[in-house]
Amino acid sequence: MASDSWSVIVSHAVLEMLVDPYGNRLVAGRHPTDPDQRVRYLVEVCDPCQTVCYPVNGWKVSDFCTPRFFDPAENPAVFYSFTGALVRPLQVIDGGYIIWMDPRDSGAYQLEGGADEPVLLADVTSLARTSAPLRTVVDTNPATPCLSAEATRVATSATDRARSRRALRSAAQATALTTAEAVLCAEAESWE
């Protein structure tokens, strides 16, 4: 029923605003279809797994990617999304998608779950003509899949408390590692 899934849509938007308030945060990673190339992904933590949700106090809320989602190699002990719906880095499930900027042509590309080839959402000329955040450019493009209440499903792993605790611990450790790396880089730059 669509009326009971508004909480999934709201939690999706809130999570993405918390992680990237300005809608322009990019993270470097390998190209999703050409591992020899590097691209910069738009950090949209709910989009790759947007059709998965889990219950919190009787309300359905959106699944989300952990910081390990952009890892360069797969590790079976890592959670790539909170519910475990994503089992490898850069995985996109049916109904989800990822966006990246390709440094070869400065275009914004999208790959939907189950698709073989990415589509160009915006070329460098159209991106140069707007001051809108990249998230807005993506979300207003008709090629971007919309989240529908009918397409969401509750993750079976979401009710497993031990698994949820491990996912939280894994996400916290990844965030701590990223913070430590940033501090070490800043410290090394100050010595130069």
pLDDT digits (tens, 9 = 90+) for 84-131: 999 999 999 999 999 999 999 999 999 999 999 999 999 999 999 999
Q: Which two tokens stand for residue 132?
A: 């809108």
All structural domains of the chain with their residue ranges: 2-191
3-state secondary structure the chain: CHHHCHHHHHHHHHHHHHHCCCCCCEEEEECCCCCCCEEEEECCCCHHHCCEEEEECCEEEECCECHHHHCCCCCCCCCCECCCCCCCCCCCCCCCEEEEEECCCCEEEEEECCCCCCEEEECHHHHHCCCCCHHHHHHCCCCCCCCCHHHCEECHHHHCHHHHHHHHHHHHHHHHHHHHHHHHHHHHHHHC
Q: Name the pTM for this structure.
A: 0.77
Confidence at 184, pLDDT banded by 50, 70, 90: low
Confidence at 176, pLDDT banded by 50, 70, 90: low
State the pLDDT at residue 111: 95
